[in-house]
Amino acid sequence: MVDGMTEATELASAAGDHDPKVGLRAVSALRRLLEQLEAVQVRNARVRGWSWQEIAAELGVSRQAVHKKHGGSR
C-alpha cells in the first residue's frame, strides 16, 4: 500500500500544477485510483458482513447507488 500512497501523493501534488495538461492528467489518474480504492473497500465491507445501507452511509450516497455501482454481489 506504500506504493499506492506514494502514487496518490504524487498525483495530488501534480493536480495542482500550473500547467493544465499536467493537472488534468493527474486529476484523471486520481479519479481512476479512487474508483479502484472504493471498489476494494466495498468488497472488504461486504466480506465482513456490512449491508449496502451501511456502506452507502459511509460513502455519503444512497443504498441504491452503491448497490448499482458495485453490482450487488458478495
- pLDDT at residue 32 greater than cutoff 60: yes
Q: How far apart are CA 39 and CA 10, in angstroms?
A: 21
Per residue in 7-23, pLDDT tens? Answer: 889 999 999 999 999 99
Per-residue model confidence (pLDDT) at position 35: 95
The CA-based dihedral angle spanning residues 54, 56, 60, 61, taken in that order and rounded to the nearest 10 degrees: -150
Q: How far apart are CA 56 and CA 33, in angstroms?
A: 19
Domain coordinates in residue numbering, the chain: 2-69
- Cell numbers 501523493 correspond to 9
Cα radius of gyration rounded to whole Å, the chain = 15
Q: What is the pTM of this model?
A: 0.80
Instruction: Give the pLDDT band of residue 74 (cuts 50, 70, 90).
Output: very low
Quote the DSSP letter at residue 70: T
Per-residue model confidence (pLDDT) at position 6: 86
Per residue in 38-67, pLDDT tens? Answer: 999 999 999 999 999 999 999 999 999 999
Cell (9 digits) for 17: 500544477
